[in-house]
Chains A and B, each alone.
Chain A
Amino acid sequence: MKDNYGLDELTLNAYVDGQLEPELERRVLNAMDTDRDIREQVCQLRRAKDWMRTGYGDAQPTEQPMPACKKHYSRLQTGIAASFMALAIGMGGGLLGYICAERETGTQMAAGSLGHENPHKVLLHLGDARPEHFQAVLDYAEDFLEEHRERDVQVEVIANSGGINLMRSGGSTFESRVRELSDKYSNLQFVACMNALRNLRKEGIEPVMINDVHTGTTAVDHIVKRLQEGWTYRKVDNLSDI
């Protein structure tokens, strides 16, 4: 049954449920302004809605464990378990390789005493903002590249955490040195961790990196990638590592 405004009861229900197009909603609102019956009807519908929420809004189910999965899902679980196992084996292997690499010292790390490490591809990881660490890394990289000038060698310096501050333009005392080395050695790359940059931005700092510093990857991703490619990896936490 429609009223004088052409609004039937179903339309008023739809209005209360927020299901009307804006135009029709405006018509209902206008009708409510002038028609007491319509206001009353809308009020009743809203009360009915409120009663439902009052009646069931606080109902709580009995605590139960999640139902056991069968059929397809159990296969998925098996797949997930197998994947995690494979992942764990892979990570374990990687960790073992990392620990072994950590035990090497000085320039021996680049000499590659471990059979699977390529002594001519070296990744140096800087995770703090101590200038003496970066100084040592740069010195090492330059010595290594100079020493192997005739060979096809590659060195990368990746910085994360506080280490990226040493690669920022305008704020690093090493800016000119980094640029100089980058110009001199095309086989030397500097990489700043994307996550560390993001963290700086969260703190309201927009980091501007030295021109020659790459920023397209995270430290973890890059290190894993290079380890998989057989690079020699060294984390530079203290000077004795170099």
Chain B
Amino acid sequence: MSLISRICSASNMRKKVAGSRTRLFRVALAWCGDQMLADDLVQETMGLALQKIHQLRDPERLNAWLYSILNNCWKQHLRRYRPHEDLDDERASEEPGPEINVGQMEVVARVRCAVAELPVEQRRVLALVDLEGSTYGEVAEILEIPIGTVMSRLHRARKSLFALLDNSSQESPQQTAALRRVK
């Protein structure tokens, strides 16, 4: 590749990284539930991406690569600050869900509360598929898990989300808890 091409390519990639901030932020926010932390995670992700941009061999895979970095930043953060949090899917769900307290909230706030109730690993998959539009294969690669796990986590996440947010379930918290135990 000529020098000019390399310069143009590097400049182009930098622009693409810069243009990914909002999308990264939305996924980060869904993962962590905290705006400031999401901002920090995205900033850290972009810094690392710019440092390691030379390692990205296929520019078409920029998005998946960025989300892999974001995922690593998020995992590091959890290890550092929440070392005892159970990252497994088997998070206890018997405690009252947000449906009891968020009846008057706007939809956005209710959704964010409900997503925050999901186990971390479900949130990861849900955000990548529903916000970023990643394919199951891409999610499996980004999170380094089998596609089957992606599908099962996604299914459980949506089922829980529906149970938490569906208006009819708000009328009967006990029923919701029962639904959530099904997983």
Contact = CB atoms under 8 A, between A and B. Distances in A.
Pair from one complex: yes
Interface of A: 9-10, 13-14, 17, 19, 44-45, 47-49, 51-62, 64, 66-73, 76, 79-80, 83
B120 interface: no
A54 B155 contact: no
B131 interface: yes
Given A10-B152, A55-B107, A66 B51 contact: no
A10 B146 CA distance: 14
Given A56-B29, A61-B42, A66-B17, 11 more contacts: A10-B152, A48-B161, A49-B158, A51-B165, A55-B112, A55-B115, A61-B25, A66-B46, A66-B50, A71-B51, A80-B11
A72 B108 contact: no
Nearest to B55: A72
Interface stretch (B60-68, B71-79, B122-130): B122-130
A19 B51 CA distance: 34
Given A56-B112, A76-B10, A51 B161 contact: yes
A69 B7 CA distance: 15
25 contacts: A9-B155, A10-B151, A10-B155, A13-B155, A17-B129, A44-B162, A47-B166, A48-B130, A49-B130, A49-B158, A52-B131, A55-B112, A56-B30, A56-B112, A59-B26, A61-B24, A62-B35, A66-B46, A66-B50, A67-B47, A67-B50, A68-B47, A72-B51, A73-B53, A83-B7
Contact of B46 (A10, A13, A67, A72): A67
Contacts of B4: 83
Nearest to A87: B4
B12 interface: no
B40 to A, nearest CB: 10
Contacts of B178: none
Interface string B26-58: 100110000110110011101100111110000
The CB with the most chain B CB atoms within 10 A, among A55, A66, A80, is that of: A55
A80 B7 contact: yes
A55 B151 contact: no
Contacts of A47: 162, 166
Contacts of A13: 151, 154-155, 158
Interface in B125-179: 126-127, 129-131, 135-136, 151-152, 154-155, 158-159, 161-162, 165-166
Contact of A80 (B10, B25, B136): B10
B111 interface: yes
Contacts of A64: 21, 39, 43
Nearest to A77: B10
B22 A70 contact: no
A52 B30 contact: yes
A44 B130 CA distance: 14
Nearest to B112: A55
B155 A73 contact: no
Nearest to B30: A56
A56 B126 CA distance: 12
